[in-house]
Amino acid sequence: MLVTPIAEYPLVCIGVSKGTNQNLLHFDTVNLNLSSSWFTEQGSGENQLDVVNVTQLEKDTVLVAFDREVKIVNLSGKLKSSKKLAAELHFDFYTESIVCLQDSVLAFHKHGMQGRSFKANEVTQEICDKSRIFRLIGSDRMIVLESRPSDDPTAPSNLYILAGHEATY
């Protein structure tokens, strides 16, 4: 959901595609404020991104996670750089899920996770264990991970609570 200051109801984001410019993203939305057609102009589908997460951080700041990237854009989809936030974060792996914290992003992959700072795009923490398969179970208040052996994915799992983290968005 994307909240705009001029609309009574939020826009529902149903997809994200690359814009004509590499630094531009296009949000495919359902606009509940319109009485005629709720659907906004949609992308062609060929530039559609395999989005993992869309989170509105501030009134005009949206985090979009896809492939190996996290982009910080405004509501128009244009990259938004500031002293507080890097406009782009890059990972060495395809992200399966994202948790937004106050000052960083935790990106989860099959064998672990990596935290990156919003401010400097530096790695703040990292877990990588090829002998285990990890899956993010929940991140509403506590971040909960499931872990299973890589060589036996049907084996009973272990659950972990990541301490010192609180999902804020």
In this prediction, residue 43 carries a pLDDT of 53
Q: Are 38 and 79 in contact (CB under 8 A)?
A: no
Q: Give the gyration radius of the chain's Cα atoms.
A: 17
Check pLDDT > 60 for residue 169: no
What's the mean pLDDT when you consider all of the chain?
A: 87
- Residue 136's pLDDT is 94
Distance between CA atoms of 86 and 134, rounded to whole angstroms?
A: 27
Q: Is the Cβ–Cβ distance between 73 and 65 less than 8 Å?
A: no
pLDDT tens-digit readout, 71-121? 999 999 999 877 777 899 999 999 999 999 888 999 999 999 999 998 888
Confidence of residue 140 (pLDDT cuts 50, 70, 90): confident
Q: How far apart, in Å, do the first and last CA atoms of the chain sit?
A: 12
- In this structure, what is the dihedral angle of CA atoms 1, 30, 75, 24, given to the nearest 10 degrees? 120
Residue 167 above 60 pLDDT?
Answer: no
Whether residue 44 has pLDDT greater than 80: no
